[in-house]
Amino acid sequence: MAIVKFEKKVSASKRRKEAVFLTDRFDKDRLKTEIAKTGYTFLSAQSEPYKK
């Protein structure tokens, strides 16, 4: 996925209507802008520490 070039892992579920990005950095405004360019609607985002 080319939207967020610094992601380590991306998973998406059409059924659950969600996408998950595992990344070192999180820029909510950039993500919102890039998603809008694709014609999709950005609804919300949250950030939390990754736990294995």
Question: For residue 18, is it within any domain?
Answer: yes
Question: For residue 14, is it within any domain?
Answer: yes
Question: For residue 9, is it within any domain?
Answer: yes
pTM more than 0.85? no
Question: For residue 3, is it within any domain?
Answer: yes
> Cβ(50)–Cβ(22) under 8 Å?
yes
Express each pLDDT in 17-38 by its tens digit: 888 878 777 788 888 888 889 8
Q: Which domain holds residue 33?
A: 1-46
Question: Domain count of the chain?
Answer: 1
> Cβ(1)–Cβ(15) under 8 Å?
no
DSSP 14: T
pLDDT at 44 over 70: yes
Question: For residue 26, is it within any domain?
Answer: yes
Question: Partners of 23 in the beta sheet?
Answer: 7
Question: For residue 24, is it within any domain?
Answer: yes
Question: For residue 51, is it within any domain?
Answer: no
Question: For residue 52, is it within any domain?
Answer: no
pLDDT at 3 over 70: no
